[in-house]
Amino acid sequence: MKQELFFNKVESQLRSDNCSDSTISLYLSGIKRFVKFSGKEDITLINSEDLARFSKSLFKNSNPKNGTLRPIKYGINYGFNVVLNNNLDVNLIPTPKPIRIQKEYFTKKEIAKFFLGIDNLKHRTLFQFMYATGLDVNDIINLKITDIDSKKKSITIRDNKTNVKRIAFLPASILEIIRNYFSIYKPKIYLFEGQKEGQPISDRSIQHTFKISLAKQNFNKTLTTRSIKNTYVKHLAEDGVPLTSILEQLQIKNPETLKLYNDLCFPPKKHNSSPFDTIHLEKEEFDLFDTTDLEYILAKVTDQEERDYLNEGIKCFKANALRAGVIFLWTASVYKIQKMCMTQSLGFINTELKKIYAKAKDIKVIDDFGYIKDEYLLELACKLKLIDKTTKEELKNTCLDLRNKCGHPGKYKPKGQKIKAFVEDIIGILY
């Protein structure tokens, strides 16, 4: 096979695999450099011995950086082993890959400022989408309209090798923004398309737009598009989501990478004290339960309002603010029951509600439940056959009773075992 035919074949395959322009350029550059070094016009005659000699030549006069070697190595592997199905030992080119994470990230105020400073709707939506979902640039480039399921609030992330890489959560807060963008730009195939209709936006375009947006706003940080993903992880951790749950959802498994993200979210601190200095030896504190189960539930909840209530409850329990924790957890439970009710027809809901409380206001939206006492809501859920009578009585006589005691001024202080039973009931019944 002649050289020119080979180069064209590689480029064609790279484009069919939706590789970015920069990747195509780097891969072809490395391949052409190797082919030229081999001195062989017929590509099929090139072998691992040629590659070994080429590798030595790379290190003969200098010690090249991995950033230079990797595109050469990957390009040769793609061209000869993927396209031609040869068996070149590309490991003859040593490229120990250091794992680095750009540790800079946006604070919540900074990320809001960054979004507000972008005038172009398409660009603003793209970066908001990255932050809302934890997607990186490569994910964005390959994201097709058909990969978005608005009903399930999920995104299918694909790669060129395995097709389905992972399923990501699509928050309702970004969905309306996407719909507005979609109605104006009307993309055909990819969610974010470039200048050519039906073609994905390029890596280079995203990076360029990001740099320009940063420069306009004078951020005094070394920020990159990778910083948006860092910000996503950092902010979720700050909001109380366990780091292990975040990284599991992102399918980050490399131990070194896990450590680096852990250091990003929880920077190592020097200390000259002991935790014993901060505890209070009061018996009721030893009766407290840990919040692991609640944190596990929080990681799976997709509704933002429900997440907020649960997260506040967890924070309260951790701070030993037991009464406040009970109130927040009960509020989350009430909201969940309200959502369960809203799965039924409004006519059915209002008919059964009037049987319970004749003066009840008609339910049109979920916020209308705010005018209904909690005990009426529990009765309604039972009549709608969303919970059984035993469950209703347990929620009313045990959980709601404790919530009422905690919600009224007084000297009542619930014990750890009482709180534990309350939490276990809520989790067991509703989650």
Q: What is the DSSP string of 86-143?
A: ----GGGS--------------HHHHHHHHHT---HHHHHHHHHHHHHT--HHHHHH-
Cross-strand partners of 193: 200
Residue 85's region, left for phi above 0, alpha for psi from -120 to 50, else beta, is left
Q: What is the pLDDT of residue 208?
A: 93
Please give the span between the terminal C-alpha atoms of the chain, in angstroms, as a whole number.
63
Quick check: helix, strand or coil at residue 321?
A: coil
Which fold does the domain 3-92 belong to in CATH?
DNA polymerase; domain 1 (1.10.150)
- pLDDT, position 120: 94
Beta bridge partners of 301: none
pLDDT tens for each residue of the chain, 431 residues long:
889 999 999 999 998 888 888 889 999 999 999 999 999 989 989 999 999 999 888 877 666 665 678 888 889 999 998 998 888 888 888 775 555 556 788 999 999 999 999 999 999 999 999 999 999 998 999 999 999 999 999 999 886 555 667 888 898 889 999 999 999 999 999 999 998 889 999 999 999 999 999 988 888 888 999 999 999 999 998 888 888 888 888 888 777 777 878 888 877 666 666 666 665 554 444 345 567 778 878 888 888 888 888 888 888 888 878 888 889 999 999 999 999 999 999 999 999 999 998 888 899 999 888 888 999 999 999 999 998 888 888 888 888 888 888 887 777 777 767 777 788 778 777 77
**Structure confidence at residue 104 (pLDDT):** 85
What is the secondary structure of 240-290 as a DSSP string? T--HHHHHHHTT---HHHHHHHHHHHS-----SS-GGGG----HHHHTPPP
Chain-centre distance of CA 119, in angstroms?
25
Architecture of the domain delimited by 108-265: Orthogonal Bundle (1.10)
What would the two tokens of residue 94 be? 């040593």
Closest of 379, 429, 423 to residue 403, by C-alpha: 423
| Domain positions in the chain | 3-92, 108-265, 276-430
Residue that is written with structure tokens 């947006």 in the block: 213
State how far the Cα of 402 lies from the Cα of 110, in Å rounded to an integer: 41
In 3-state terms, what secondary structure has residue 144?
Answer: strand
Angle of helix 66-76 versus helix 21-38 axis, rounded to 10 = 80
What tokens does 170 get? 């699509």
pLDDT of residue 287: 46
| Cβ contacts of 254-261, under 8 Å, gap ≥ 24 | 254/99, 256/99, 257/99, 257/101, 260/99, 260/100, 260/101, 260/103, 261/101, 261/233
Residue whose pair of structure tokens reads 């919600």 in the numeric block: 407
The encoded tokens of residue 292 equal: 């692991």
pTM, 2 dp? 0.46
